[in-house]
Amino acid sequence: MTDQTLMARLSEVAAKQEIHDVIMRFSRGIDRCDEALLRSCFHADSFDDHGHFKGNGWDFAAYIVKSISERAHHTTHAVTNVLIELDRRDSDIARAESYILAQLRRTDEKGGEWLDYFSGRYLDRFERRNGIWRIASRIVVHDWSASAELGTASFPLPVDTFTQGRRDRKDLVYRI
């Protein structure tokens, strides 16, 4: 392997890792209701199609933090099966398909607890501008969803002994 080939491969791996980090930061931003972190995932002129929201990515960041804070008291966004493909003609463009499993726990108007599931995919166009990869365009594809009312059975572990997660910048992840 030539030095040039090795450098090209390392550059590709670095680009894919930087893109993957953006995708992971997006999930943290949603679950911690961190608008600034969400905005950092998008270019200023980006477009986001989240079904119920279609518009600028920075505007989506403000919208989703408010919306999720009002609708659910706990959320978990897990991203799996991330496939990132760099454009062979333009090294500053990439596409990614990421499977998403979102779980939102909410209380209904009668005090009942519900768990809402969303399974879908992020179809992203990434662009590297001034050396920084961010989402230029995102379309969320819905594959399936469901809701389940939670019963009154208690969880089999003493969950109050765990460090409790928070939905703001006071969460432990921001201090470690």
Q: What pLDDT shows up at residue 88?
A: 92
What is the model's pTM? 0.92
Q: Kindly state the tokens that stand for 174.
A: 């921001």
Q: What pLDDT shows up at residue 103?
A: 97
CA nearest neighbour of 168 among 58, 53, 68, 100: 68
For 102, 114, 120, 139, the CA distances from 117, given in Å and listed in that order, are: 6, 10, 10, 18
Q: What pLDDT shows up at residue 117?
A: 97
Q: What pLDDT shows up at residue 155?
A: 75
Please state the three-class secondary structure of 39-96 as a single string: HCCEEEEEEEECCCCEECHHHHHHHHHHHHHHHCCEEEEEEEEEEEEECCCCCCEEEE
Q: What pLDDT shows up at residue 154?
A: 73
CA nearest neighbour of 103 among 138, 39, 150: 150
Q: What is the CATH number of the domain that holds 129?
A: 3.10.450.50
Give a yes or no: residue 171 inside a domain: no
Residues linked to residue 75 through DSSP beta bridges, in sequence order: 104
Give a yes or no: residue 9 inside a domain: yes
Give a yes or no: residue 41 inside a domain: yes
Describe the strand order of the beta sheet including 42-49 as a list of residue ranges: 54-55, 42-49, 132-149, 113-129, 93-107, 74-86
- The owner of tokens 């399974």 is 119
Give a yes or no: residue 39 inside a domain: yes
- Residue type present at position 25: R
Residue 12: domain span: 3-161
Q: How many domains does the chain have?
A: 1
Q: Kindly state the tokens that stand for 53.
A: 């929201």
Give a yes or no: residue 154 inside a domain: yes
Give a yes or no: residue 150 inside a domain: yes
pLDDT tens for the chain, 176 residues: list them: 798 889 989 999 999 999 999 999 999 999 999 999 999 999 999 999 999 999 999 999 999 999 999 999 999 999 999 999 999 999 999 999 999 999 999 999 999 999 999 999 999 999 999 999 999 999 999 999 999 999 877 777 788 888 999 999 999 999 88
